[in-house]
Amino acid sequence: MTTTEPPMPAQGASAAAFPLGAAVTADALAADPHPVLARLRDREPVSWAPALGCWLVTRHDLAVRVLRDPALFTVDDPRFSTARVVGPSMLSLDGPEHARHRDPFARPFRPARTRERFTAFVAAEAGRLVGALAPRGRAELRRDVAGPLSVAVVARALGLAGVDAATVRSWYGAFVGAVSALTAGDEPPAAAAGARARLRAAVEASLAGDGDTLLREAAAGAGLTTAEVVADAAVLMFGGIDTTEGMIANAAAALLARPDQLARVRADRSLLPAAVEESLRFEPAAAVLDRYATAGTVLGGARIAAGDPVRVSVTAAGRDPAVFADPDRFDVGRGDAGAHLAFARGPHFCFGAHLARLETVAVLEALLDRLPGLRADGPAPARGLVFRKPNAVPVRWDAPGE
């Protein structure tokens, strides 16, 4: 989920040692990564990819090892561009500083509190968005449902007085623009500084108020400064907007592309949570996670040098045949899909996971409840190197009067 600048070449990694990695292109990975990743996982499970400027880890067990060892594979590196836009936050720190930032925010996102705080809101929002489409007979689910719901939920989670979903969307857009500019080696656009100033003002107002908000709760016990709360609030936007939009779009697209699987969940709604886990395994919205080696080490036979960038392919781990039988088959009845790495592992494990699952199940419920005869209205292939999701998920259904 992190974004890095093109790094220096690693020591000792040659095209001769990693021929498959040497042939990897960013375009092939963005379009259809699965065949390329399958070959890598089988023959070069930790491979140097010159086109990406990093080591690529494709085996599930090795991916878990990297994610669980922040002392050796850290996020805390000046090349991490998100930290340069929003400041140091839980996403860019490790060790005790990471825990200081993360713990107070993670607490309100535990499963029971997530259910208590969000179930009714999410169901109502999903029902409202899908219900408004019902008379139309056709729609594009990413733009019409997944995007607006994911922004509305993050806006609600932040609970900033007077800051609506459209404002949160515009701030987020400014931050993403700045991260992209930095990644390309350009100056960040002025809009990001403006968004950060307005976010800071809204956070200050929230901390000074007497409402029972997430930010007040987070800041209260942990001794975080206002600047730190602002950075962590921005990380909630980074964590919860594009990813959740992608997760909802990918789950809907996977089911719509397979009428037999859609019929199974239609006949037995209790399969919906398993269908969502299977879509996280099959096409995770956050496709890669970036770390930096803090010391020389050997992983999967590859000699990694201190400072080398190490990229975990969550996408590849989800199709590892050592963990998932017949991994290229999408099967809502698979019992072990939850072993996917779509929400990472280790200290940075996504604490928004329960909320994102709640949102995705709520959307699928609303689609099945309110759009009779729902079916795909064209292909919806996922695309993207860092975030993967379809550009559009066109659907149609039997609208009244059609």
The residues that touch ligand HEM, with contacts defined as CB under 6 A, are 1-2, 75, 90-91, 102, 153-154, 235-236, 239-240, 243-244, 247, 280, 284-286, 289, 342-344, 348, 350-352, 355-356
Are 51 and 25 contacting, i.e. CB atoms less than 8 angstroms apart?
yes
Length of the chain: 402
CB closer to ligand HEM, 45 vs 284:
284
CB closer to ligand HEM, 133 vs 247:
247
Least distance in angstroms from the C-beta of 396 to ligand HEM: 26
CB closer to ligand HEM, 41 vs 98:
98
Are 98 and 114 contacting, i.e. CB atoms less than 8 angstroms apart?
no
Least distance in angstroms from the C-beta of 399 to ligand HEM: 30
CB closer to ligand HEM, 18 vs 83:
83
Sequence-distant contacts of 223-231: CB under 8 A, at least 24 apart: 223/100, 224/100, 224/101, 224/104, 226/200, 227/87, 227/200, 228/87, 228/88, 228/89, 228/101, 229/203, 230/86, 230/87, 230/196, 230/199, 230/200, 230/203, 231/86, 231/87, 231/88, 231/89
Pick from 104, 85, 80: which is nearest to 290 by CA?
80
Task: Indicate the residue whose CB is closest to ligand HEM.
Answer: 352
3-state helix, strand, coil in the chain (%, to 5): 55, 10, 35
CB closer to ligand HEM, 286 vs 337:
286
Least distance in angstroms from the C-beta of 84 to ligand HEM: 16
Least distance in angstroms from the C-beta of 287 to ligand HEM: 9
Six token digits for residue 68: 């669980």
CB closer to ligand HEM, 18 vs 101:
101
CB closer to ligand HEM, 223 vs 400:
223
Q: Say which DSSP state 4 is in.
A: B
186 contacts: CB under 8 Å, gap ≥ 6: none
Q: What type of residue sits at position 252?
A: A
Least distance in angstroms from the C-beta of 121 to ligand HEM: 12
Least distance in angstroms from the C-beta of 281 to ligand HEM: 11
Least distance in angstroms from the C-beta of 334 to ligand HEM: 17
Distance CA 69, CA 148 (A): 36
